[in-house]
Amino acid sequence: MEPTPAAWSAADEFLAATLVGSDPALEAALSAQRKADLPEIEVAPVGGKFLHLLARISGARRVLEIGTLGGYSTIWLARAIGDGGIVTTIEAEPDIAAIARASIDASGVGGRVDIRVGRGADVLPTLEGSEPYDLVFIDADKESNTIYLDWAARLGRPGTVVVLDNIGRDGEIVNEATTDSKVIGTREGLRMLGHDPRFDATALQTVGVKGWDGIALAVVV
């Protein structure tokens, strides 16, 4: 096969059909998101299940998500933490948070999800003083990635799992001349993960239904 975006998508769809399967609650969350004309930038099905499995493997009970959007990844994470677990998820736009709230409640895990409405940089300081988070998923405005990583370290503990979405960006991360603030923010986040002694990190590029992108995975040291 030629490695074209169409071929990546077809292979990704096969993986999702084979390993994830149909899931009415998640599909309903996506239709609600599409109906509201929200951008189709939620994680891919295989990516959502990857987050879910990471949360299960790490035994996470307290999850922090920065960037709720329609609640698709939120539902995947909330399903992983068991009764008594909590996903605190931050969404900047009240109208979007309302759509997520409805989808999350309809999926049956509403009791495990606390949506905080506001900009991450404003909401994160209000979470200080709570028990540490076991897993942090950062998937919001890329310009603020270093701020979010700093808070992930501060609100975590040694062993906290940190996942940073969208580190590939069509390979633009190596374009030093870019003026795209999202690419610059992504690269700054990656450099922080490489240099900041609070993290030990790696990253994986992905291709699939979301194009050429990837995630960084880190542990708080």
Contact (CB, 8 A) for 78 and 112 = yes
Tokens of 17: 């059909």
Residue 139 interacts with Mg ion (CB under 5 A): yes or no: yes
Residue 139 interacts with ligand DHB (CB under 6 A): yes or no: yes
- The rounded distance, in Å, linking the Cα atoms of 89 and 66 is 6
Residue 107 interacts with ligand DHB (CB under 6 A): yes or no: no
Residue 165 interacts with ligand DHB (CB under 6 A): yes or no: yes
From the list 165, 173, 187, 215, which residue makes contact with Mg ion (rule: CB under 5 A)? 165
With CB atoms as reference, the residue minimizing the distance to ligand DHB is 41
Alpha helix positions (H), the chain: 5-19, 24-35, 45-57, 72-80, 94-106, 120-123, 145-155, 181-195
Sign of CA dihedral 100, 106, 108, 111: positive
Identity of the amino acid at 65: E
In whole angstroms, how close is the CB of 166 to ligand DHB at the nearest point?
Answer: 5
From the list 41, 106, 117, 127, which residue makes contact with ligand DHB (rule: CB under 6 A)? 41
In whole angstroms, how close is the CB of 158 to ligand DHB at the nearest point?
Answer: 27
Interface ranges with ligand DHB (CB under 6 A): 41, 139, 165-166, 182
